[in-house]
């Protein structure tokens, strides 16, 4: 997994090196958050401001021997984008949001019960956002620390983040 993250970061940094590309703004975008797990992401800017809403949904399932689990996550965030003037199309952003995760556990060992659980998470966002000029493509790279309030994984998780690749819509 570490090699994949290094590869993705390298591609993102190399794409920023082509600063001769002129970028343009976008209003809406949909794509994939290539994190753990992979999510579908939809981002929408509010009017002509630098404020955006991002929503995501994800699904992850794993089966190991006689034990398995499934997780479905749904969440949203409010983000504030600020331009980085030295590179057209590059912005940094911060924000906050919340997510809800639905878990189910399947245990085939006798004497153990199957169970379902719910986790709530409060999230922070810190990232970079780049829109390529002349192409309907947007890349984001972010860190999303999450504090889980209840359910599986109570406490602070700082290992969340992703590279997001989106198709943009102009309005």
pLDDT digits (tens, 9 = 90+) for 94-136: 999 999 999 887 776 655 666 778 889 999 999 999 999 889 9
What's this model's pTM, rounded to 2 decimal places?
A: 0.77
* Spatial CB neighbours of 117, under 8 Å, sequence gap ≥ 6: 102, 103, 104, 105, 151, 152
* Average pLDDT of the chain to the nearest whole number: 83
pLDDT per position as a tens digit, 35-57 = 888 999 999 999 888 999 999 99
Q: What distance in Å separates the CA atoms of residue 152 and residue 21, rounded to the nearest whole number?
A: 45
Structure-token pair, residue 100: 């809800």
Find the mean pLDDT for residues 2-16.
49
Identify the pLDDT of residue 17.
40
Gap between the Cα atoms of 141 and 114, Å rounded:
37
Residue that is written with structure tokens 């700082």 in the block = 158
CATH code of the region 2-169: 2.40.160.20
Residue 71 scores a pLDDT above 90: no
Q: Which residues pair with 164 in a beta bridge?
A: 33, 140
In this structure, what DSSP letter does residue 130 have?
A: E
Which is nearest to 129 in space by CA: 166, 92, 75? 92
Instruction: Give yes or no for a contact between 72 and 115, defined as CB atoms under 8 angstroms apart.
Output: no
């Amino acid at each position: 997994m570490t090699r994949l993250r290094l590869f993705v970061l390298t591609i993102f940094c190399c794409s920023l090196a082509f600063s001769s590309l002129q970028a343009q703004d976008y209003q809406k975008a949909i794509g994939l958050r290539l994190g753990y797990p992979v999510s579908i992401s939809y981002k929408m800017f509010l009017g002509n401001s630098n404020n955006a809403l991002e929503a995501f949904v994800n699904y992850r399932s794993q089966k190991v021997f006689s034990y398995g689990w499934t997780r479905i996550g749904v969440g949203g965030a409010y983000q504030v984008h600020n331009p980085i003037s030295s590179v057209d199309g590059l912005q940094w952003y911060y924000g906050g949001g919340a997510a809800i995760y639905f878990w189910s556990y399947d245990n085939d060992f006798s004497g153990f019960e199957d169970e379902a659980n719910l986790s709530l998470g409060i999230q922070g966002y810190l990232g970079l956002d780049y829109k390529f000029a002349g192409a309907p493509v947007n890349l984001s790279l972010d860190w999303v620390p999450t504090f889980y309030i209840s359910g599986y994984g109570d406490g602070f998780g700082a290992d969340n983040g992703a590279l997001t690749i989106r198709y943009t819509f102009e309005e």
